[in-house]
Structure 1
Amino acid sequence: MSAMRHLLDLCKRRGFLFQSAEIHGGLRGAYDYGPLGVELKRNVSQEWWNAMVYQRCDVVGIDTAIITPPAVLKTSGHVDQFTDEMVDSKLSKDRFRPDKAPTLHFDKEKMHIPITAPDKKTAKLWEHEIRTNLAPGSSISREGKSIFLKMDKFNGSEIILEQESGSPVTIPYKGYVDPASNSPFLTEARPFNLMFKTYLDPIDPIDKVITTTLDGTKTTPPMDLSQTRQSVDKTLYPSLTYLRPETAQGVFINYATVQRSHPHLKVPFGIAQIGKSFRNEIRLEHAIFRTPEFEQMELEYFVAPWQADQEFTRWRKSRMDWWKRFSRNFETRFRERAHAQDELAHYSSGCVDVEYLFPWGWGEVEGIANRGDFDLRMHSEATGIKLQYTDTILMQERQQREKATGVKKTEGLDRERFIPHVVESSCGLNRAMLALMLDAMEVVDEQGKIVDLEQQMASIIGSTDNNKNWRTVMKLHPRLAPIKVAILPLVSNNPDLVDLCQSLSSELRAELQIPVSVEMQSTTIGKRYYRMDEVGTPWCVTVDYESLQDGQVTIRDRDTGVQTRVHYSKILEIVRDGLRLYPRS
């Protein structure tokens, strides 16, 4: 995965992304966004908001609380059902999801199962653990950091090891092994709730836990472990809250408030939200692709039951069009994958994922789902509050007909008042940022030929003869680029050139409200161009001595490398036109 390594190196070196608390040893799965990263993330979210809210008359925004009371998540099913299966490796102690784990790999001729340790020292410890506790008497060999188990039989559900002494050892096989080591020595799968608990209480909850546990030991007979846990949970429940696992529930519980405060919204209409969510993921992977703290961009679009299928289809196309607008390799790196029937939630009648071809394979960046009326119906039943939509026009027309004819009719009432169905678009902001950066990143050699990083064995981070002259161009859409314009004085210590650069920078900032960088490094113009290419800056403007005489400056296009001589007063219009969502022909 050299492309991913190269991107992460660039992100750290240029200020897109840092390991959180790195000077204190770092925190696994936590990342901080640097000056360029925060701009890129903000631009992606702003383009999503622009497409979902500003460009529409039927969608409004909302921002709901992160801390969520248990009743909300109990009603939505998250407390009881928001779980993954979790398995522990008895050797590495790593935890993983069995549905994401690989199948057993073994040498069919030699009947060897290779188990790969991180290093030779660990391999020795693992070999001792296998010989002593996990498979005593089995035929085992070791070479370097690899351990080989000699297998006698494998019938698909059991692994029977060849023995040097003692009774045969049978290992149950459930269809997966430790992803990191290929070890079949695993614990039984068990459910693992993904939500983070927290407590709103002026009294330290740990004191309550200690007190309740001590009280349990004083009873006759003393409480067993399960009784103690129930007692502790009961004691803590009044102050229990959760960090929300998704932003959607905040929209559903505010549906009636939004509808009441914005009576002009008629079905179909939507409520959009961007905000942080938290999931206690079993396995954190691929930098910001899967982290416990992440940001979601979600739209809940409320429709009449008979509109749901049509709106689901329409939103699928709309979202794919959005990705196409901001990507460079849409046809080859993006796809839409429909969920199979056994993948759907019990309340969903349809769901598709927008997937990107990451260096490790296809991964979801957005999901579009037809959720039915499940969420509003469940919250309505739990609270007794009617979360429904009333079509006042149809109701008034019926009442007028009944008044004129004196005949009351019951047909059609279900079209006057109903619980709306929901079409949801849920996009991960962090994943979207990662996908768009990988999609935009282009590495070229000294001849200008594109380098396929996935076919290169050597890392380009070093300075070997093969890669020291390679350079990176981040061909982000101009509206996503962290820095829109870089202004370069030909000589950084000439006050007149610097003053002209600062004047042009101030005009662009004031008129366009965009980030502009004045590059004052004492290096060549070419190196400064390449520096700006690396972070995705669409335009570089060079101010030289002739500029002081005739006002002409050189503007360079990032993607083509074409340099054009224009009067500095034209720069504003060139950049303004280039930043249009739909540029002029």
Structure 2
Amino acid sequence: MSAMRHLLDLCKRRGFLFQSAEIHGGLRGAYDYGPLGVELKRNVSQEWWNSMVYQRSDVVGIDTAIITPPAVLKTSGHVDQFTDEMVDSRLSKERFRPDKAPALKLIEQDKILPISAPDKVTAKAWEHDIRTQFAKGALITRKGKEILLQVARMEKDKIVLKKDSAAGAAATIEPTDLHIPYHGYVDPNSNSPFLTESRPFNLMFKTYLDPIDPIDKVITTTLDAQKNPSTSDLTSTRQLVDKTLHPSLTYLRPETAQGVFINYATVQRSHPHLKIPFGIAQIGKSFRNEIRLEHAIFRTPEFEQMELEFFVAPWQAEEQFVAWRKFRMDWWRYYGRNHDRIRERAHAQDELAHYSSGCVDVEYLFPWGWGEVEGIANRGDFDLSKHSEATGIKLQYTDAILMQERQAREKATGVKETSVEALARERFTPHVVESSCGLNRAMLALMLDAMEVVDEQGKVIPFPGEGDNNTTTSENAIVSKGVRTIMRLHPRLAPVKVGIMPLISNNKDLVELCTGISQSLRQELQVNVSLETQSTTIGKRYYRMDEIGTPWCVTVDFESLQDRMVTIRERDTGEQRRVSAEEVVEIVRDGLRLHPRGSSLDQQQQKTISK
């Protein structure tokens, strides 16, 4: 069993993550967060907000609207340029990006092109389609779920297939006459080369603010257009429909950043104490009509972003870009355990947006490979300049101190300042350094990073494909008796901070004392506490808490009724000690500090992050 499959099973069983509308058949790419999932997601976002806003004096927050007028996204370039190339598989009808698709796989020794169907029934249907539509007369066999095509040879832009001698008269045609186009990629799921031509695909969701159903307008406009010969062709009809719908057209925002840019001047006016450099942070939902949905919450049409737009003077941009790269990598290393699974990858020149002078991705090593969890970019002044051009509103920053100094100097000397460089430092369009982190991806990465499977002795069992190259792990080893899962999340991220357990779950006095301790923790620390009263052993209850990442468990026994001493157990060490019921609050309080007292490692991290 892969790490991803193991995690998703745990998420569903313990209430982290569910498929949305599952009782109605589900909705592909849509997920609901259960009681534990919503706590973890909230904790990750709160830690980001704490680091980016509360721990700094130069960043403020904002929360902007999801529904966005076309003018904003037209100005930002999203309407015209926010597209991906799209290809459809003629067999599976799946849609995918060609630049992310794999090359054709051949069974080289036999020159066989295998096409994998999801089941035997589908394979039979696909074979029929290939024989009758896509490669008539080709030499084809079928083995279970696989369709096997005989290949004569590969050429630069086509695949030459062998002819089937049983095809009668068609068999006299030379093999070179039977070929199919090949553009260097195939359907990622089936290895099928039977594809449509690529075409641009806009990633934004359209919606309409109108009491009249837009479908009614589409039908009426189309019918009217068909009556007029000059507008009856498809292109003219489409233009008329777009024109009719445009007054009520809006979009679900594809990113949170534009909401910050269009509010830059408002924030600056309402918070005059903010001096360059300063930032505006936002956490919120965005929507993209993704061509390919994959890896559960890694890529979905509805997702949450944690973004910071940091406004700087043009001459500060590069320095701030470097500083924010380090700051964000420090954050990831603070909450992640396996630093070798976190890396920074700089974009090549041909990957950069035309307005960007630098961009790096923070990537995590997921079970399927390296995947982006955050991007840090030097965006220049593109966004503010474009919105300024479109609206006529100057989105500039004025350094009042420099201006006053110049005016005083001119008054004293009688000489006007003429230096273009000096005047440009007084009033300029800020450049922007952006940090854009996917909350859903961050949650997935941190859970995978924290999850361990251990045997009865506490030894870590690697998942298949992990660990020493000389060590192989079978699926049976992961699910065998005595093996358990521990979610070693940072205490500040853990969905449940403390599990409180009476030794005997149905003893009224023990339960009453447990309830008192849990209430103290909730009131004093405002944390999520679980009262564990299942009719099972303490050991099994400990393991259940380990599985969801609970850092501390507190057991109340009959001696506790006499001396108010309880047993507190730490998740990561398994260490147990007797403390007073009142001490529990302080132990948890100290453990939840950003930098717990007495930890040399955390003291060093504190120094690093505060620089």
- Confirm or deny a common fold (TM above 0.5): yes
Secondary structure in 2 matching 1:454: coil
Please give the alpha-carbon distance, in whole angstroms, between the structure 1 residues aligned to 2:122 and 2:474: 27
Deviation, structure 1 residue 125: 1.2
Please give the alpha-carbon distance, in whole angstroms, between the structure 2 residues aligned to 1:197 and 1:101: 27
Please give the alpha-carbon distance, in whole angstroms, between the structure 1 residues aligned to 2:183 and 2:229: 43
Q: Which of 428, 434, 440 in structure 2 is aligned with 1:418? A: 428
The aligned amino acid for 2:426 is E
Please give the alpha-carbon distance, in whole angstroms, between the structure 2 residues aligned to 1:507 and 1:135: 73
Please give the alpha-carbon distance, in whole angstroms, between the structure 1 residues aligned to 2:439 and 2:197: 34
Q: Paired residue for 2:414?
A: 406
Deviation, structure 1 residue 452: 1.0
Q: Is 1:289 matched up with 2:302?
A: no
Deviation, structure 1 residue 108: 2.2
Q: Paired residue for 1:354?
A: 362
Please give the alpha-carbon distance, in whole angstroms, between the structure 2 residues aligned to 1:354 and 1:344: 15
Deviation, structure 1 residue 98: 0.6
The aligned amino acid for 2:228 is T
Aligned pairs for 1:358-373 (under 5 A) are: 358-373=366-381
Contact 2:461 2:478 in 1 (8 A): no
Secondary structure in 2 matching 1:559: coil
Q: Is 1:132 matched up with 2:132?
A: yes
Please give the alpha-carbon distance, in whole angstroms, between the structure 2 residues aligned to 1:131 and 1:570: 76
Please give the alpha-carbon distance, in whole angstroms, between the structure 2 residues aligned to 1:14 and 1:373: 47
Q: Paired residue for 1:573?
A: 586
Percent of residue pairs identical: 77
Contact 2:463 2:478 in 1 (8 A): no
Please give the alpha-carbon distance, in whole angstroms, between the structure 2 residues aligned to 1:506 and 1:128: 67
Contact 1:2 1:453 in 2 (8 A): yes
Contact 2:90 2:195 in 1 (8 A): yes
Deviation, structure 1 residue 109: 2.3
Contact 1:160 1:171 in 2 (8 A): yes
Deviation, structure 1 residue 446: 2.2
Please give the alpha-carbon distance, in whole angstroms, between the structure 1 residues aligned to 2:98 and 2:483: 40
Q: Deviations over 1:524-569 (max 9, x none)?
A: 0000000000000000000000011111110000001011111111
The aligned amino acid for 1:292 is P
Please give the alpha-carbon distance, in whole angstroms, between the structure 1 residues aligned to 2:540 and 2:108: 54
Of the structure 1 ranges 43-52 and 154-163, higher mean CA displacement relative to structure 2 is found in 154-163
Q: Deviations over 1:350-403 (max 9, x none)?
A: 000000000000000000000000000000000000000000100110011111
Deviation, structure 1 residue 468: 3.1
Please give the alpha-carbon distance, in whole angstroms, between the structure 2 residues aligned to 1:221 and 1:557: 78
Q: Paired residue for 2:609?
A: none
Q: Paired residue for 1:484?
A: 497
Please give the alpha-carbon distance, in whole angstroms, between the structure 1 residues aligned to 2:573 and 2:6: 23
Q: Is 1:170 matched up with 2:179?
A: yes
Q: Is 1:277 matched up with 2:286?
A: yes
Q: Which of 229, 238, 254 in structure 1 is aligned with 2:247? A: 238
Q: Which of 207, 218, 223 in structure 1 is aligned with 2:227? A: 218
Aligned pairs for 1:132-531 (under 5 A) are: 132-164=132-164, 165=171, 166=173, 168-220=177-229, 223-330=232-339, 332-411=340-419, 412-455=422-465, 459=475, 467-531=480-544
Q: Paired residue for 1:550?
A: 563
Of the structure 1 ranges 492-501 and 73-82, higher mean CA displacement relative to structure 2 is found in 492-501
Structure 2: gaps (5+ residues)? 165-170, 466-471, 599-611
Please give the alpha-carbon distance, in whole angstroms, between the structure 1 residues aligned to 2:432 and 2:417: 29
The aligned amino acid for 2:160 is I
Please give the alpha-carbon distance, in whole angstroms, between the structure 1 residues aligned to 2:354 and 2:594: 39
Q: Paired residue for 1:21?
A: 21
Secondary structure in 2 matching 1:453: coil
Please give the alpha-carbon distance, in whole angstroms, between the structure 1 residues aligned to 2:361 and 2:58: 24
Of the structure 1 ranges 103-112 and 75-84, higher mean CA displacement relative to structure 2 is found in 103-112
Secondary structure in 2 matching 1:186: coil
Deviation, structure 1 residue 186: 0.8
Of the structure 1 ranges 494-503 and 424-433, higher mean CA displacement relative to structure 2 is found in 494-503
Distance 1:194 1:240, change over 3 A: same
The aligned amino acid for 1:235 is T
Please give the alpha-carbon distance, in whole angstroms, between the structure 2 residues aligned to 1:99 and 1:387: 37
Deviation, structure 1 residue 454: 2.4
Deviation, structure 1 residue 54: 0.2
Structure 1: gaps (5+ residues)? none
Please give the alpha-carbon distance, in whole angstroms, between the structure 2 residues aligned to 1:465 and 1:287: 21
Q: Paired residue for 2:93?
A: 93
The aligned amino acid for 2:444 is L
The aligned amino acid for 2:458 is G
Deviation, structure 1 residue 220: 3.3
Contact 1:69 1:241 in 2 (8 A): yes
Deviation, structure 1 residue 157: 2.0
The aligned amino acid for 1:524 is T
Please give the alpha-carbon distance, in whole angstroms, between the structure 2 residues aligned to 1:355 and 1:222: 51
The aligned amino acid for 1:479 is R
- RMSD of aligned residue pairs (Cα, Å): 1.2
Runs of 4+ in structure 1 over 3 Å off: 455-460
Contact 2:231 2:237 in 1 (8 A): no
The aligned amino acid for 1:433 is M
Of the structure 1 ranges 240-249 and 204-213, higher mean CA displacement relative to structure 2 is found in 204-213
Deviation, structure 1 residue 146: 1.0
Q: Paired residue for 2:606?
A: none
Of the structure 1 ranges 113-122 and 446-455, higher mean CA displacement relative to structure 2 is found in 446-455
Contact 1:213 1:232 in 2 (8 A): yes
The aligned amino acid for 2:224 is D
Please give the alpha-carbon distance, in whole angstroms, between the structure 2 residues aligned to 1:140 and 1:385: 66
Deviation, structure 1 residue 467: 1.6
Deviation, structure 1 residue 30: 0.4
Secondary structure in 2 matching 1:476: coil
Please give the alpha-carbon distance, in whole angstroms, between the structure 2 residues aligned to 1:203 and 1:187: 36
Please give the alpha-carbon distance, in whole angstroms, between the structure 1 residues aligned to 2:363 and 2:493: 20
Deviation, structure 1 residue 465: 9.8
Please give the alpha-carbon distance, in whole angstroms, between the structure 2 residues aligned to 1:253 and 1:397: 31
Aligned pairs for 1:2-41 (under 5 A) are: 2-41=2-41
Of the structure 1 ranges 318-327 and 167-176, higher mean CA displacement relative to structure 2 is found in 167-176
Please give the alpha-carbon distance, in whole angstroms, between the structure 1 residues aligned to 2:220 and 2:108: 58
Deviation, structure 1 residue 2: 1.2
The aligned amino acid for 1:276 is K
The aligned amino acid for 1:325 is Y
Please give the alpha-carbon distance, in whole angstroms, between the structure 1 residues aligned to 2:457 and 2:405: 73
Deviation, structure 1 residue 155: 2.2
Contact 2:18 2:34 in 1 (8 A): yes
Contact 1:359 1:454 in 2 (8 A): no
Secondary structure in 2 matching 1:351: strand
Aligned pairs for 1:85-124 (under 5 A) are: 85-124=85-124
Aligned residues: 581
The aligned amino acid for 2:483 is W
Q: Deviations over 1:474-512 (max 9, x none)?
A: 000000000000110001111111111011111111100
Secondary structure in 2 matching 1:336: strand
Please give the alpha-carbon distance, in whole angstroms, between the structure 2 residues aligned to 1:465 and 1:229: 56
Please give the alpha-carbon distance, in whole angstroms, between the structure 1 residues aligned to 2:348 and 2:134: 38
The aligned amino acid for 1:273 is Q
Deviation, structure 1 residue 162: 1.4
The aligned amino acid for 1:553 is V
Please give the alpha-carbon distance, in whole angstroms, between the structure 1 residues aligned to 2:243 and 2:473: 57
Secondary structure in 1 matching 2:247: helix
Q: Deviations over 1:420-452 (max 9, x none)?
A: 000000000000000000000011122322111
